[in-house]
Chains A and B, each alone.
Chain A
Amino acid sequence: MSRETSMLKLNGLELEVQRRGSGSPLLILTNEEELELDSPLLDRLADKHELIIPSAPGFGHSERPEWISNPDDIAYIYMDLLDHLGIRTISVIGFSLGGWIALEMATKSHTLFSKILLVDPYGVKTGGVTDRDFQDIWTLHPNKVAALKWHDQSKGKRDYASMSDDQLSIVARNIESFARFCWEPYLHNPKLRKRLNRIHAPTLIVWGENDGIATPAYGKSLAALIKGSRFETIASAGHFPHLEQPDHFLALANSFIG
């Protein structure tokens, strides 16, 4: 399978973009830990699609200029990327933070996405001022966060001791950049809810039944705000159901995206 990583210069910043496989193009927006990059999941999607997998500014090796302060800004960079690649319409799969960025992009253009698949995305606050739509991953004990995030915590364990300096730097950068962009407002853009009416593409929202960071009930309330969207859950899975139950996820993704 073909796999190529390059640094592209977009609007003055260096963006790391990976291309995998061949077929109809499919935009993959990873989660905040970029865990998809090392999982077999993407190779299986790349059997039928040419995957375009950017690392967001501040993630992977992508540059993080000072002016980028939230996923809304990142959405513009990704739209620049698609322009640069000459892509006018594409389907997208966005995981967690990547799902939020996909939502931001979808509200900026009616015609950009032919299909939208979101997996446990952040981005929209549906609850009241004292409700925690998303559990506070930065004030809870790390063990508690892991328990909320994973149905099977062993799947979230990473072997830092075996990683190179470069790999560890990426882990640390990703943690830092996620906080830079999502600290406040916490994991949402207050304007996004009022922009969801602009989404017309067929949308599938997939949720891990045991996601303790953002519950399936929250996911349903988000789906209710996107006209014509479909909501599906995956059993025995937390916030990253595509990593905990890849077969179930791929069945949903393949029948939806085609």
Chain B
Amino acid sequence: MFAWHFTEMPYPHLPPLDTLSTMRVSLPNSHYDPKIGADLYNRYLDEYVIASELGLNLLLNEHHQTATCLDVAAPLSAAIVARQTSQGRICILGNPVANRNDPIRIAEEMAMIDNICRGRLDVGFVRGVPYEIFAANTNPTQTVEKLWEGIDLTVMAWTSQEPFNFEGRFTHRRMVNLWPRPYQTPHPAIWITGSSDLESIKKAAGRGYVFATFLQPYDKVKAMFDAYRSNYHDCGLPGGGGMAYMPLVYTAETEEEAEAGAKELTWYLAAKAEPQYRNPPGYVPVSFNVNALRGTYSGRTDAMRAQSLEFLKEQGVMIYGTPDSVAKQIKRFYDLVGGFDHLLMMQQAGSLDHARTVKSMTMFAREVYPQIKDLPRSQPLNAKAAAE
């Protein structure tokens, strides 16, 4: 089991949340103070350096036009930690290739970071959550197709050692010739995210990509991981595929202290957005929207928002407690979902301050990680056949 430190780099210095209709997309940036922001950026990056020194791996992502995430360019933050750390893997989860419209630029950036950190980079690709549609003005009805074409082009650019022509549905480049090539051969491990579409998960599994999902009840996670396992082949790629899950995690000396920390992390679940940002037209299939019209479908975060801390803990969406308790909860979740490979820990959210964040991650690294490190990794199907 690999453990990863993660924060979305939130900007929590907002008016009371009940006075805001949204924290995403259209919250005016008059609420942002660059002096506070400068401190936050440096603090969050310091925490990544500390996580590396503690032996944790580093997970980064990006979002746009939102107070929930100041990291608007994961390649930038990844490049900083690539240079400032010397151990642990670095994963961008992920590159919003459907929203960035430039897979070649992504291929270049990833190759450059992979060179700087001498092959410690894993490269995730994401379709992007619904809110992201608006900042990028991406047509919400074709993000899946754009995602896969973008991944294919990126991989072609990484692995081709001759210039080539590409005239796809979304990108046309008549002279693709990547300088630099990635440090890892044939290319860095690829990760992909999902939250419901089982066919997409099987596709990722068949290609040997790592599949990651976030903040979901264990039965839903198990259904997704089962779909992954049903088509999981080892393609001989770096990282070798596998499954990743992200809960909110807080480790403390006492249960009381842990619960107080966990409460602060729920800020992330409370992040609000107006309804039109949560389900742009065509983002989910017609069948989902039929249920939405009937009022029986709502997004993941909506379902989680209303729940109690106890419920979230029981479901594995939040993991918190003393080190032994946290280890026990992770093992329980591992068993409930049939095993997985990467524990992605959102250990900082909302107003959780630097001292308490570092205390929690230190305690995790020293007292929990050794207890779960040896949980067996997922075994690919017919690895031998795939190798031939």
Whether A179 lies near B139 (C-beta < 8 A) is yes
Say what secondary structure dominates the interface of chain A: helix
Whether B289 lies near A184 (C-beta < 8 A) is no
Which size class do A's interface residues fall under?
A: 20 to 34
Contact with A along B272-312 (1 / 0, CB 8 A): 00111100111000110110111100000000000000000
Chain A residues 130-169 with CB under 8 Å of chain B are 138-142, 145, 160-161, 163, 165, 168-169
The answer to the question of A80 belonging to the interface, with a C-beta cut-off of 8 Å to chain B, is no
Question: Please, which residues of chain B bring their CB within 8 A of the CB of A141?
Answer: 21, 274-276
Whether B134 lies near A139 (C-beta < 8 A) is yes
Name, among B21, B281, B287, the residue most crowded by chain A CB atoms within 10 Å (CB to CB): B281
User: A173 — nearest CB in chain B belongs to which residue?
Assistant: B286
Q: Count the A-B residue pairs with Cβ separation under 8 angstroms: how many?
A: 63
Give the distance in Å from the alpha carbon of A42 to the alpha carbon of B25 in the complex: 41
Say what secondary structure dominates the interface of chain B: helix
The answer to the question of B185 belonging to the interface, with a C-beta cut-off of 8 Å to chain A, is no
Whether B276 lies near A183 (C-beta < 8 A) is no
The answer to the question of B159 belonging to the interface, with a C-beta cut-off of 8 Å to chain A, is no
Give the distance in Å from the alpha carbon of A175 to the alpha carbon of B309 in the complex: 37
Question: Please, which residues of chain A bring their CB within 8 A of the CB of B382?
Answer: none
Whether A180 lies near B280 (C-beta < 8 A) is no
Our pick among A160, A163, A184 for the contact of B137 (Cβ within 8 Å) is A184
Whether A168 lies near B281 (C-beta < 8 A) is no
The answer to the question of B230 belonging to the interface, with a C-beta cut-off of 8 Å to chain A, is no
Given A160-B293, A171-B293, A172-B290: A180 touches B275 (CB 8 Å cut-off): no
Min Cβ gap B317→A in Å is: 28
The answer to the question of A178 belonging to the interface, with a C-beta cut-off of 8 Å to chain B, is yes
Name, among A66, A168, A171, the residue most crowded by chain B CB atoms within 10 Å (CB to CB): A168
Name, among A141, A175, A176, the residue most crowded by chain B CB atoms within 10 Å (CB to CB): A176
Min Cβ gap B19→A in Å is: 16
Whether A168 lies near B293 (C-beta < 8 A) is yes
Question: Please, which residues of chain A bring their CB within 8 A of the CB of B275?
Answer: 141-142
Question: Please, which residues of chain A bring their CB within 8 A of the CB of B280?
Answer: 138, 179
Given A138-B276, A138-B280, A141-B274: A180 touches B141 (CB 8 Å cut-off): yes
Among all A-B residue pairs, the 5 with the closest Cβ atoms: A179-B281, A172-B289, A176-B282, A180-B141, A183-B139
Apart from A172-B286, A179-B281, 12 more pairs, CB < 8 Å:
A138-B281, A139-B25, A141-B276, A165-B290, A169-B286, A171-B293, A172-B289, A173-B286, A177-B141, A179-B282, A180-B282, A183-B139
**Which A residues are within 8 Å of any B CB, using their own CB?**
66, 138-142, 145, 160-161, 163, 165, 168-169, 171-173, 175-180, 183-184
Chain A to chain B contacts (Cβ below 8 Å), 20 pairs: A139-B134, A139-B276, A139-B277, A141-B21, A141-B276, A142-B275, A145-B276, A168-B290, A172-B286, A172-B293, A173-B286, A175-B289, A176-B141, A178-B281, A179-B140, A179-B281, A180-B139, A183-B137, A183-B139, A184-B139
